[in-house]
Structure 1
Amino acid sequence: MVRYGKEHKQATRQRIVETAGRRFKRDGIDGSGVATLMKDAGLTNGAFYAHFESKEDLVATAVCEQLRGQREWLTSFEPGRAGIEAMVRTYLSPEHRDNPEEGCPSAALLDEISRCADPTKQAYTDSVLGIIDDIAARLAPRDLRSARVKVLSVYALMVGTLQLARALADRRLADEVLEQGIRNALAALDAGPEH
C-alpha cells in the first residue's frame, strides 16, 4: 500500500474542494452527488471520506473557499469609489451571468445554503461578512459599522439581480435587468445615511 505525504493529501483535498465548488455552482448542491464530485476530481468514491466527514462538510468547505476566492477577487479593484463601481459592473455583467460555475457562490447557491444545516449556514455567514467588511472598508473606512449594513443590503440587491437575470429566458430583458441593477446598486451605495 502506498502512503502519501501530508502535502499530497492537502493537494488532493484542495482539488476536491475546487472541483466541487464549480460543480455546486453549476448544478446545485442537491444536483451534485459525491460520486460525481469525486469523478470530477479524478478520484474514487472511497477517497472522499479520507478528506471529509460528510457531503455537508464538503459543502461548507467549498462555499467558504469560493467566498475566500471572491475576497481575493475584490483586491484586484482599485481602492475607493471607482474600484467599487468597477466591481459592481463586473459582478452584474452578462459574462458573470452566463458563467455561474466561475462566479459568485451566493448568486448560484443562496437558496440551497438556506436549507443547509446550521454549521454550514454559520460558515457561509462568517465568510460573506468578510466580503461585506472588505467592501465597507473601501466605502467608508471611518464608519465601518453603518457601512456594513448598507453594503450587505447592496450585496443582497446584486445577488438577487444576478439570480433573476440568469432565470429570464429573454436575453435582452436580462441585460436590462443587469443594467438597472448596476444603477440601483450604485445609487444605494452613494445614498447618505438614513435618519
Structure 2
Amino acid sequence: MGRVSKEQAQENRRRIVDTASRLFREQGTAGVSVADLMKAAGLTHGGFYKHFDSKEALVDEATARAFDGVGTGDRPDDDSDTGTGTGEGAAKDARRAFVENYLSPEHRDDMAGGCPTAGLATDMARGATGSAARHTYAEGVREFARRMADDDDDGLVRLSTMVGALILARAVNGDPLSDALLAAARAEVSA
C-alpha cells in the first residue's frame, strides 16, 4: 500500500477527531476504544498512532473540536442566531428560544451531536486536573455561562440548571420523569 498525500493525511486526522468528538459525547471517552473509533472513522486501527501519540492527545483535540461549533448558529447549544432586533426584549426572546431548544427532547436524544458541556461532564470530572481537555472544557463552560448571563447575574445558575437537567433527563430517558425534568428546567430558566 502506498503512502497517502499530505492532504489525505490531514483529512484522515480531521475525520478521526470529528468521529471522536461525537463518540466521546455519546459514549464517554472510556467507552470508546481506539479500535472502535478508527472503525467508525473508516480507517485502520494501526493508523491511529500516525496521527496521535496517545488516546489522551486525541481526547484533548476532540474536546476542543466539540466546542468549535458553539456560537456559530449550527449547534443545538448555540444562541447566536436565535434573536433579531436589539435591546433587552430581543435578548430575552433570544435566550428563551435558546433555552427551549437546549431543553428539548430532540437535544436530549442527540447525545453525539449535542452539548459538549453536558456530554463530556463526567469524563472531565474523572480526567487529569491539568489536562488540555479539562482546560478547554472549563473555557467552554465559562463561555456558556457568559452567554446565559444578564445584567443581574453571571449566568452560572441558568447554566447549572440547564446542564444538570439535560444530564438527568438523559439518564432517565424513557421514563416520564425525563420530560418532566426538561419542562421544569425550561419553566425555571425562562422565567
Please indicate the TM-score interval, normalised by the length of the shorter structure: 0.7 to 0.9
List aligned pairs for 1:45-194, cutoff 5 A: 45-72=45-72, 73=75, 74=78, 75-78=80-83, 80-117=91-128, 118-119=130-131, 120-136=133-149, 139-140=150-151, 147=153, 150-168=154-172, 171-187=175-191
Asked if the contact 2:64/2:136 (under 8 Å) is kept, the reply is yes
Moved more, 150-159 or 125-134: 125-134
Amino acid at match of 1:4: S
Q: How far is 1:71 from its partner?
A: 2.6
What pairs up with 1:23-34 in 2 under 5 angstroms?
Answer: 23-34=23-34
Which letter maps to 1:31?
A: G
3-state SS in 1 of match to 2:189: helix
Question: By how many angstroms is 1:134 displaced?
Answer: 4.0
Offset from partner CA, 1:77-106 (integer Å, 9 cap, x none): 225111111111101001111221121122
The structure with the greater share of residues assigned to helix is 1
Question: What TM-score, normalized to structure 2?
Answer: 0.83
**1:37–1:151 Cα change, 3 Å:** same
Cα 1:130–1:50 shift into 2, 3 Å? farther
Give the structure-1-normalised TM-score.
0.81
Contact 1:166 1:174 in 2 (8 A): yes
CA distance in 2, matches of 1:152, 1:68: 21
Once residues 132 and 126 of structure 1 are traced to their aligned partners in structure 2, the CA distance between those partners, rounded to angstroms, is 10
Q: Secondary structure at the residue paired with 2:127?
A: coil
- Cα distance in 2 for residues equivalent to 1:169 and 1:59: 27
Aligned identity (percent) is: 37
Amino acid at match of 1:68: D
Q: Which runs of 5+ in 2 are unaligned?
A: 85-90
State how far apart, in whole Å, the 1-side matches of 2:34 and 2:45 are. 7
- How many residues align? The count is 177
| Residue 115 of structure 1, CA deviation | 1.1
Please say which of residues 55-64 and 89-98 is displaced more in the overlay. 55-64
Could you list the per-position Cα deviations for residues 57-89 of structure 1 after superposition, in whole angstroms to 9, with x for gaps in the alignment?
111211221112233232232251111111111
Distance in 1, Cα, partners of 2:17 & 2:144: 20
For residue 113 of structure 1, report the CA deviation from its aligned partner: 1.1
